[in-house]
Amino acid sequence: MSRTLTELATASIQSLLDRLAAPATPPAEYKHIMYQLGFEHGKALRDKLEGKSVGIACTVEDADFLVQGIIEGLRGSVSSISVACFWNKRFPGDETRNIPDTAPIQRKYSEPTIKSVDSLIVAKSIISGACVVKTNLTHLIRESNPSMIYVVAPVMFTDAKSNLEKEFASDITRRFAYYYFARDDQKSADNNVIPGIGGNVYQRLGFEDQDDKNHYTPELVINRRRDLSSGKSTPLSHA
């Protein structure tokens, strides 16, 4: 087992990653660590995204923690932020029959302005097989044409980049830029990346399983939907 840290991984970020992977870290602390890592990602992207309209695509379990942190980290830098949140249900494939994992979208929240953003951030707590990112990104690029696509995660599995890029044409992949703090190269018998983010993210965040998390509506979505329906600017729609 080996972990490769990127140049973004400061000593404080390494400490956060260690606490994230620790089995004893309780859900409340785990959520806060995810927020802190998201905030660090947002800060790392500030210069690249200064003055741009930005879309952030995420899954339901990451919205209130990792993504809220990214939004706060970008505050004061970008011209606007739009959000798309997806409820995916993942189905395992069968390698012996060459059947890939799939992650169909069960439900989505998507702000109209995400169709016209300059840059798109696709955020995930960990990118392993990349099928969730592939599904959600495929959906978004049918309706939008961002000049840059930032694939953002605290941890990536070593094969994730190649798994993702083989699903898209070169005119899409040339826009990809990857921002992550650590890359791991080993998985457990139950297919969790080691050390990764400490196991199954749903359970680490306090959900029972993926069906339980798919019944959850993030506060980020509730607040932004309320503000949109009332005609007010969404929080950080003008960051």
pLDDT tens across 40-55, in order?
999 999 999 999 999 9
Is 237 domain-assigned? no
Evaluate if residue 156 carries a pLDDT over 70: yes
Cβ neighbour number for residue 175 with a 10 Å cutoff:
17
- Any bridge partners for residue 57, and if so which? 84, 122
CATH number for 110: 3.40.50.2020
Is 115 domain-assigned? yes
Our count of domains for the chain comes to 1
Is 19 domain-assigned? yes
For residue 77, name the pLDDT band (cuts at 50, 70, 90). very high
Residue 199, classed as helix, strand or coil, is: coil
Is 239 domain-assigned? no
Q: CA 147 to CA 132: how far, in whole Å?
A: 21
pLDDT tens across 164-212, in order?
999 999 999 999 999 999 999 999 988 899 999 999 999 999 999 999 9
For residue 1, name the pLDDT band (cuts at 50, 70, 90). low
Domain of residue 131 covers 3-229
Is 234 domain-assigned? no
Is 178 domain-assigned? yes
Q: What is the pLDDT of residue 236?
A: 54
For residue 92, name the pLDDT band (cuts at 50, 70, 90). confident
Evaluate if residue 98 carries a pLDDT over 80: no
Q: What is the pLDDT of residue 239?
A: 46
Burial of 11 (0-12, 13-18, 19+ CB in 10 A): exposed
Pairing of strands 53-59, 119-123: parallel
Strand intervals (E) in the chain? 3-5, 53-59, 80-88, 105-110, 119-123, 126-127, 148-157, 176-184, 186-187, 193-194
Evaluate if residue 37 carries a pLDDT over 80: yes
Q: What is the pLDDT of residue 238?
A: 41
Is 236 domain-assigned? no
Is 238 domain-assigned? no
How many angstroms separate the first and last alpha carbons of the chain? Answer: 41
